[in-house]
Structures are given as C-alpha cells and as structure tokens.
Amino acid sequence: MTDSTGMTIKELTLTVQVGSEVRLRVEHDTLADAVAWTARTLPKTAGTLSGILLEAADDSITLSSYDMDVSSQAVVAAVVEQPGRVLVSGRLLAEIARNLPNAPISMSADTKVKLTCGRSTFTLPMLASEEYPPLPDLPPVIGKVPGTAFSGAVSQVSIATSRNDAVPLYTGIRLEVDDDRLTMAATDRFRLAVREMPWSPEQVGISAAVVVQGRSLADATKSLAGAEVIKLALSEDARMLGIESAGRRFTTRLLDGEFHKFRSLLPTESASRVRIEVAALSSAIKRVALVTERNMAVRLLIKDGEVELSAGLGSETEAVEYVEARLDGDPLQIAFNPQFLLDGLAALDHPECEIRCTEASKPVVLTGAADSTSDRDDSYQYLLMPVRI
C-alpha cells in the first residue's frame, strides 16, 4: 500500500530542524525496534540522560541512550537527505513508537519536536543535545557465541540473581572464559545456577573472569535472542563488558567484589537420584502451592515409583498430589520454596530432569535428563537450598 506521494505505508519520514534542517526517511518497523532497544537502558531520572539521541549521517541513523553505567546503541539504515542530531524525551518516544498507526510519519523540530502520523500529532520536548555525554567505546572483542544459545544461557542463570540491591554482587552474573569454554553462574545465597557452553575465542588460551549486572545483561541478550552471532567484548582493565550484534551495541560497567567459589558448592556425590517429568512436576507444584501462605514450603516425599507433594501443614486447608518418578537410592522427605523450585524446572531445556539429593537439610541439584536412564546433561545445574520442615 502507498500514500499519495508513492511512499510505502511502512516508511517513516522524519524532518528535524535544529539550527540547520535535518531530513531522513526510514522504515517504520526498523525505527520502532531500534527505539525499543535503546529505551531499555534509559535512567529513571529527568534531565539530559533521560533522552534518546538520534544522529543522522550518510545512510544511517544512530540511536543512543546512556545512564553513565550502561549504554545502548542501535544503528539502522535510512535515506538521509541532510545529516544532523537531536535529543528527544526517550520514554515518550518509546511509547509513541510502540503505539503509532501503520502509516507514514513526519517529524519536525524547532524548540520542540512535532511528530505527525496519520491523523495523530504529538509534541515532544527538545533536550539539549550539546550537553549529552559521549558514549563509551566498545571494548576489544574477545570472542563470539551464537545469539540464541547465549541468550538462553543468560536466561537460565539470571533466575538465581538477587532482586535485593543491598549486596550488589548477588545481583550479578559471574562470567568466566577459559579457552573455548564459557561459564556463567549466579546466586542469591538460597540457590545457585551454573551454565557451561562452548564459544569461539578470538585468541587461543584466553582466560578471564568478571561479574556483570544480571538484569542488564538478561535484558540485552533477550533482545538479541534471534541474532546469528553475538560478539563479547572486554576492556583491558576488566572494568567494562560489551556485546555487539546486527547493528546493536551494549556496554556495562562491571561489579566489584569477590564472587563465591561456586564450584565447591556443587555436591560431588548423592544418596538419592530421582528422575521425573518436568511438566508433570511443575503442574503439581503449582496446584499444591495454591494452599500455601507467604513463605510456606511445598513438601516432597520421594519414594520408589512416585513423589508425593503436599502443602498446608497445620491448617484446615491442605493439598496432596502424586507424580510418577524413578528413584535410585534411599527415600527422602524434603521441602522447598515452591517458586524457587519452579524457577529451576522452567530453566531446564529437557522434558525430564534428575534431582540429586544427599539429605533433607542439604541442597539438591537439578539437571536435565537425557533419554537414557543413566544419562544426564550437566551443562546446566541448578542448586537449591531446602526449607526446614
């Protein structure tokens, strides 16, 4: 479909005047995606840093946001008739871009930015672009990894990061590279998630270990889940991590502090191993947890042939359910925070899991289980502390 000028309905026309006139055209979906990517790292404070900087040059537009710790940048193709730059309110631009009708857009600016799309008109405040700080450069690239695999791995690990900023280190993800192996780990002191995967380093024998803010990394990699390749970059002083893929760039300052020696927390032996279907166990936990009160646990009685789940001890409301399972070892009764257990099960990418137990007061480890009754996938391990019964 075209409008009266012959422009396709999925094109945007932006005309921005800041001293000298700036003119450009860009596809609607392309710009909307770039604005969404850039707006993720907008700070909540007002002022210059609350804006998204648009810079038009040659045949592209660069959109940038920066909160002095984390930066996002997107470069998209455009027909630029007159280069220039403008700083606009980032959250307003993001909301508008997400809700615009599928029609050409015109944008003009003098002291304010006026945006027109179809029969809709918006006026946005113009921010002082000359006061906007320069973004940090992307550090040297140290290797690359498939986008889907890396995004999935970060998602598996980030569930164990702390939501409490009182101890910043617990909000982070430990990222280690050792030659052709990449390991990520996170813990909030009640659980630990560890993921190992292959990757392609830029140089043989490379070794590094840093802690990156978990929420920022998870947000960035989720947006790049469909990318064929993600490049990882690390500054020489190990103070900044960067990722880059398909015209998208992200940098973040790293967290200081000594991370747990997490490998020593993973049990090397187990008294009981139970194999169980992930979907069946997850559904059962959700049902019995309906009768739990705040901070109440779900109890698991693991025995030969089944796991009995129960909740509601000491109240008139109780729930009991049974799920088929295969036990290798001694029967065991143990209890968990139901949401923490569900988080670990949801992170597994196998239809069956193996739960390795030692005793009721010691942590258990969840891993994916292969088709064979003896095989398991230890590339992802989720350690969970039990709740005292």
Separation CA 162–CA 170 (nearest Å): 5
Q: What is the DSSP letter of 359?
A: -
3-state SS, residue 207: strand
- The CATH 3.10.150.10 portion of the chain extends over 11-131, 141-263, 267-384
Separation CA 216–CA 77 (nearest Å): 26
Question: What pLDDT sits at residue 109?
Answer: 61
Separation CA 382–CA 187 (nearest Å): 10
Question: What pLDDT sits at residue 373?
Answer: 56
Question: What pLDDT sits at residue 1?
Answer: 36
Question: What pLDDT sits at residue 17?
Answer: 46
Following DSSP, what letter does each residue of 36-101 receive, concatenated?
HHHHTT--SS-SGGGEEEEEEETTEEEEEEE-SSEEEEEEEE-EEEE-EEEEEEHHHHHHHHHH--
Separation CA 48–CA 349 (nearest Å): 43
Question: What pLDDT sits at residue 27?
Answer: 73
Separation CA 329–CA 136 (nearest Å): 55
Question: What pLDDT sits at residue 23?
Answer: 65
Q: What is the pLDDT along the chain (389 residues), one digit of tens a residue?
A: 344 334 343 455 555 544 445 666 777 778 889 999 999 999 988 889 999 998 988 888 899 999 999 999 999 988 777 787 889 989 989 988 888 777 666 666 667 777 777 777 888 878 888 999 999 999 999 999 999 999 999 999 999 999 998 899 999 999 999 999 999 999 999 999 999 999 999 999 999 999 999 999 999 999 998 899 999 999 999 999 999 998 999 999 999 999 989 999 999 889 999 999 999 999 999 999 999 877 789 999 999 999 999 998 666 789 999 999 999 999 999 999 999 999 999 999 899 999 999 999 999 999 998 765 556 788 999 999 999 87
The whole model's pTM is what? 0.89
Retrieve residue 75's tokens.
């470069």
Retrieve residue 317's tokens.
């409301």
Query: What is the fold of 11-131?
Result: DNA Polymerase III; Chain A, domain 2 (3.10.150)
- The interaxial angle of helices 214-223 and 147-158, nearest 10 deg, is 150
Class of domain 267-384: alpha beta
Q: Are 200 and 145 in contact (CB under 8 A)?
A: yes
Separation CA 181–CA 222 (nearest Å): 21
Question: What pLDDT sits at residue 252?
Answer: 97
- Residues with Cβ within 8 Å of 231's Cβ and at least 6 positions away in sequence, in order, are 141, 143, 144, 243, 244, 245
3-state SS, residue 184: strand
Phi-psi category of residue 372: left, alpha or beta, with phi > 0 → left and psi -120 to 50 → alpha: beta
Query: What is the fold of 141-263?
Result: DNA Polymerase III; Chain A, domain 2 (3.10.150)
